[in-house]
């Protein structure tokens, strides 16, 4: 069984910009996403067996989708009452996500009813002052983060005490 997901990896030059944003966050208990682990998840598949991995690979190979540009438009959290994730919202990823959703529904995966393209940049366990932490996020100025997406990947995630280790199971080029 492999814990799997489909993602867009982040270019090295963009990772440096994201690191600056992470460094602007107020102190918190938790963890910043390591640069090598930054990615935009298009679909989380969960634990699947090798046979299912192969059927997913076949479906993903059949996707015909054009390259596109994505851009960071906002920084935020999912819930201001219960802060757990700090994210950067990337636009223009929704259509590729829908295409992947449609193809994988043919092999038994449920379609997402809501999707927002985002990079998780920090996982929060605790903040001393929630209001101050949120105000800090609102004050952080996003640099120009824009890049071309020309492929996506099927990955497995192995959870370790130091954090997840990702392995690429398949790469799918956009035209």
- Choose, from 8, 14, 39, 124, the residue flagged as catalytic: 39
* Residue 118 a catalytic site member: yes
- Choose, from 32, 118, 153, 155, the residue flagged as catalytic: 118
How far apart (Å, rounded) are the C-alpha atoms in residues 33 and 46?
Answer: 20
CA dihedral 40, 41, 42, 43 (to 10 degrees): 180
* Residue 39 a catalytic site member: yes
Helix (H, G, I), strand (E, B) or coil at 66: coil
Computed from CA positions of residues 18, 20, 25, 30, in that sequence, does the dihedral angle turn out positive or negative? positive
Straight-line distance from the first to the last Cα atom of the chain, in angstroms, rounded to the nearest whole number: 31
103 neighbors 62 (Cβ within 8 angstroms): yes
SS3 of 111-144 = CCCCCCCEEEEEEEEECCCHHHHHHHHHHCCCCC
Cα–Cα distances in Å, from 151 out to 30, 108, 148? Answer: 31, 24, 9
**Which of the residues are catalytic?**
39, 118
């Amino acid at each position: 069984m492999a814990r799997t997901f489909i993602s867009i990896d982040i270019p090295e030059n963009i990772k440096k910009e994201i690191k600056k944003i992470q460094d602007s966050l107020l102190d918190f208990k938790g963890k910043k996403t390591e640069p090598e682990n930054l990615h935009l998840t298009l679909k989380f598949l969960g634990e699947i067996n090798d046979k299912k991995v192969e059927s997913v690979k076949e479906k993903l190979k059949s996707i015909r989708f054009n390259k596109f540009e994505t851009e960071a438009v906002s920084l935020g959290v999912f819930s201001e009452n219960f802060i757990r994730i700090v994210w950067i919202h990337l636009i223009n990823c929704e259509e590729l996500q829908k295409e992947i959703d449609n193809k994988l529904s043919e092999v038994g995966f449920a379609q997402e009813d809501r999707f927002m393209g985002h990079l998780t940049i920090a996982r929060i366990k605790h903040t001393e002052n929630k209001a101050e932490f949120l105000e800090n996020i609102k004050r952080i100025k996003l640099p120009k983060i824009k890049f071309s997406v020309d492929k996506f990947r099927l990955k497995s995630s192995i959870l370790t005490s130091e954090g997840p280790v990702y392995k690429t199971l398949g790469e799918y080029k956009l035209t």
